[in-house]
Amino acid sequence: MPRDRVGGHDERWGLVAVAGICSFLAMFDMSVMTVAVPGIAAGFAVPVSVAQWAVLAYQLPVVALLLPAGRWLDRAPLRPVVLGALAGFGLCGAAAAAAPVAAVLLGARLLQGACGAVLFVLMPLLAVRAVRPERRGRAMSVPATLGPLGAVTGPALGGVLLDHWGWRTVLLVKLPLCLVAWWLARRGLAPGGRPTAPGRAECRDAALAGAAVGALLLGLTLLPEGWGGPVLCAFALVPGVLWVRGTGGRQVRGTLRSTRTGGAHAAVLALAAAFAAVHFLLAVQLQRTEGVSASATGLALLAFPAAMAVAGPVGGRLADRLGARPVAVVGAALVAVGFGLLATAGAWPPFQVGWRLAVAGLGMGLYGGPVQLLVLDAAGPARMATAGSTVQLARSAGFTLGPAAATALAGLGDPRTGPVLATAAALLATLLLARRPAPDGATAIRHAPVPPP
């Protein structure tokens, strides 16, 4: 593993690779299981409404634990947490793959989601703390690029595995990456003490957030079956409001106010929702309406992540030279251009869709790393994990809301409604990122050292 002495500690690019793998694993697992739901339902002879909890049981703790995990990791030693989260993620995946009954599968997925929440929060911490300050942009571009790539490639790879080897292989395919990341982290992280247990306030926040998210997800799955669904969705407001008014909600609001990054968080949510909605709509539109084959559709959609993978490292290097904000603004504007070209296209053959998605993908690659760096710099070392968790929550919410909005838009008849609204969301994100907050007591720490890993 290459190391250079910087600021009193070694520069470890292997830990940046660990951050990228963590980001890829967490997002990949959030999307890959969607294609396995029919196979799980058939394999266990359960309704699809039960089998889809193989997906929801992972998403529930990811969303519920992100913010409490961020507050806890602000004071926890990295090495035992990283090694424990990676080991837990892999072992829970293996247990889910070997599950003899559906209940064991869902329990394992629930625990895997808890480990996934920790991986989400660890990703920016590892990337920022592993390198010298002037290289943080390019380090952050690695996980910022690999995370969305995991979300995009999950269904495609999952479909291939499902067709040839069954749904259990979908859960096992991540194990080699877990082992590689665990070995790199064990090599690169300095020995640390034992992490303290989460405090009472963090446990209460996790319980309230989990109750709100769990009631909402269960209510949505029961909506077609009667009055139970709407009742559960309404009940979700109770723990949600209690959380907002409690310690966790106050701390998050305080962090956003003091760092003045509310606009950046809103931009992250808007662009994630736009990306997820367009990807979902195009996959359906090209095959059902345009008569394009599944393989040609897949190749057209791959233009977005391919362009994003090319532009991600470039965005990181430019952020190191020019600053995070201008690069993030240009990237978001380029996403708006790509979606705008898609909305105004006269026809949608695969090539015409592909090059327009490539333009948007270039913009997303330029934007991803710098926007996270912008938030982390404003938060400072003491609140870096909390800031990382709020960004990941905004992104996860966008990836969840995007397909839901796309499903609603699909009934409007005009296939370009989705790209038009996605263009508007990207333009809004551009304006939010371009608006520089007024200076206050919180100062940027662009070149301030952070504790070595």
Query: Is the domain of 177 the same as that of 207?
Result: no
Structural domain tally of the chain? Answer: 3
Residue 250 counted as domain residue: no
Q: What pTM does this model have?
A: 0.72
| Structural domain span for residue 104 | 1-198
- Provide the greatest CA pair distance for the chain: 63
Query: What does the pLDDT read at residue 345?
Result: 76
Query: Is the domain of 194 the same as that of 204?
Result: no
Query: Is the domain of 208 the same as that of 169?
Result: no
Choosing from 181, 216, 245, the residue where a domain stops is: 245
Query: Is the domain of 346 the same as that of 397?
Result: yes
Query: What does the pLDDT read at residue 89?
Result: 92
**Tell me, what CATH number does 375's domain have?**
1.20.1250.20
Q: In the numeric block, which tokens belong to residue 155?
A: 């269904």
Query: What does the pLDDT read at residue 51?
Result: 81
Q: In the numeric block, which tokens belong to residue 175?
A: 């194990």
Residue 253 counted as domain residue: no
Query: Is the domain of 302 the same as that of 425?
Result: yes
Query: Is the domain of 229 the same as that of 335?
Result: no
Query: What does the pLDDT read at residue 170?
Result: 83
pLDDT tens per residue across all 453 residues of the chain: 334 333 344 567 888 888 888 888 887 877 777 777 778 888 888 887 778 778 778 877 887 787 777 777 777 778 888 899 999 999 999 999 999 998 999 999 989 988 988 888 888 778 877 888 778 888 888 887 787 777 777 766 777 777 778 888 888 888 998 999 999 988 888 776 677 767 677 777 777 877 777 777 677 666 656 676 678 778 878 887 887 777 767 777 776 777 788 888 889 989 988 887 787 777 666 666 666 665 666 677 778 888 888 888 888 889 888 888 999 999 999 999 999 998 887 666 777 888 888 999 999 989 888 888 888 777 777 677 777 778 877 887 777 667 666 655 555 556 677 788 889 999 999 999 988 765 543 334 444 445 555
Residue 252 counted as domain residue: no
